[in-house]
């Protein structure tokens, strides 16, 4: 099976709220040594010697900034009202946007002496084929094994109405008639010391080398701050909102307490 010329991986695999938690903590597992990050560069562990770059500090992960990049924090509801509307939540993912491309970042706890990317990759492929009706293909990329997935994306009237006209005009008529179009998603994973970093890439960067290179440089420059606290493997490492987000929000909101993270999410629209 082949679809597209690019590479691949997410969970881990599922949405953040669907992450499985194993019983043992990261410090209780004694297996084969985890694979180190690629020798030619990052992502980096905070205990390593890494290059100095301008980065946004999200607590457990520090993400490089560059001209043209946009950043947004995705939230998961931790409290809802009687109708199921979110009242409070926690940050669970970072979205890096560049041109027509997006890369979602998440970092998870992992066992002390073994990585989880191989298992996550297998489980992700199974979920996509059995639950989402999609197809998957493994390959090798600059960070090691990856997963490329093709999943059906809904093309409802609401979705089409929100699309820019130039994008809508590029959709083949048969896709519009059938109500869905194939969407390519690339999953990338790196096992670090007691952590697992995952990127999910969508948009033009799947095919556009220039846009992918920008996102690759961001991913390669990430620094993960694992911390010493024991955590169950696959638990999300806690994220914090960078001070730059708060400063941007203060300029847009008269009262920061009225800000609704589930409506939009704190974001910096662009870094110049």
Residue 125: pLDDT above 90?
Answer: yes
Confidence of residue 131 (pLDDT cuts 50, 70, 90): confident
Cα distances (Å, whole numbers) of residue 21 to 30, 119, 196, 215, 232:
18, 13, 14, 29, 6
Alpha-helical (H) ranges within the chain are 117-130, 157-162, 165-168, 173-178, 209-220, 243-252
- Lateral strand order in the sheet of 180-192: 135-141, 144-154, 180-192, 195-203, 101-109, 86-98, 69-80, 267-271
pLDDT per position as a tens digit, 57-86: 999 999 999 999 999 999 888 777 777 777
Report the candidate in 235, 237, 242 with the shortest Cα–Cα distance to residue 224: 237
Q: Where are the domains of the chain?
A: 16-74+99-200+207-253
Bridge partners of 63, per DSSP, are 56
The Cα–Cα gap between 21 and 18 comes to 9
Which of 15-19, 20-24, 61-65 is predicted with the least confidence, judged by mean pLDDT?
20-24
Q: Are 272 and 71 in contact (CB under 8 A)?
A: no
In terms of pTM, does the model score above 0.85?
no
Cis check for the bond before 150: say yes or no (omega within 30 of 0): no
Residue 32 CB burial class (10 angstroms; 0-12, 13-18, ≥19): exposed
Residue 262: pLDDT above 60?
Answer: no
Confidence of residue 124 (pLDDT cuts 50, 70, 90): very high
223 or 9: which carries more pLDDT confidence? 223
pLDDT for res 248:
59
pLDDT per position as a tens digit, 157-182: 777 777 777 667 777 887 777 777 78
Percent of the chain with pLDDT over 70: 74
pLDDT per position as a tens digit, 221-247: 999 999 999 999 999 999 999 988 766
Which of 33-37, 49-53, 54-58 is predicted with the least confidence, judged by mean pLDDT?
33-37
Confidence of residue 12 (pLDDT cuts 50, 70, 90): low
Report the candidate in 35, 7, 12 with the shortest Cα–Cα distance to residue 141: 7
Helix (H), strand (E) counts: the chain:
6, 12
pLDDT for res 243:
86
Average pLDDT over the chain reads: 77
């Amino acid at each position: 099976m082949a679809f597209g010329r690019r590479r691949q991986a997410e969970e881990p695999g599922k949405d953040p709220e669907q992450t499985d938690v194993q019983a043992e903590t990261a410090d209780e597992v004694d297996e084969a040594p985890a694979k180190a990050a690629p020798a030619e560069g990052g992502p980096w562990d905070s205990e390593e010697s890494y290059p100095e770059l301008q980065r946004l500090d999200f607590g457990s992960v520090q993400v490089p900034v560059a001209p043209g990049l946009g950043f947004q924090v995705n939230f998961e509801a931790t409290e809802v009202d009687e109708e199921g509307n979110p009242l409070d939540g926690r940050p669970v993912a970072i979205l890096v946007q560049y041109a027509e491309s997006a890369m979602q970042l998440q970092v998870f706890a992992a066992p002390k002496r073994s990585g989880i990317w191989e298992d996550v990759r297998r489980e992700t492929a199974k979920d996509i084929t059995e639950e989402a009706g999609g197809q998957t293909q493994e390959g090798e990329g600059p960070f090691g094994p990856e997963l490329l997935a093709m999943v059906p994306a809904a093309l409802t009237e609401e979705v089409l109405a929100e699309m820019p006209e130039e994008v809508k005009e590029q959709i083949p008529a048969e896709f519009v008639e059938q109500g869905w179009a194939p969407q390519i998603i690339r999953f990338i994973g790196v096992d670090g010391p007691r952590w697992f970093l995952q990127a999910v890439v969508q948009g033009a960067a799947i095919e556009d080398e220039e846009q992918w290179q920008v996102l690759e440089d961001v991913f390669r420059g990430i620094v993960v701050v694992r911390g010493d606290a024991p955590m169950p493997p696959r638990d999300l490492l806690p994220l914090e909102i960078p001070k730059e987000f708060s400063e941007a929000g203060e300029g847009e909101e008269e009262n920061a307490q009225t800000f609704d993270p589930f409506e939009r999410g704190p974001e910096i629209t662009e870094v110049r």
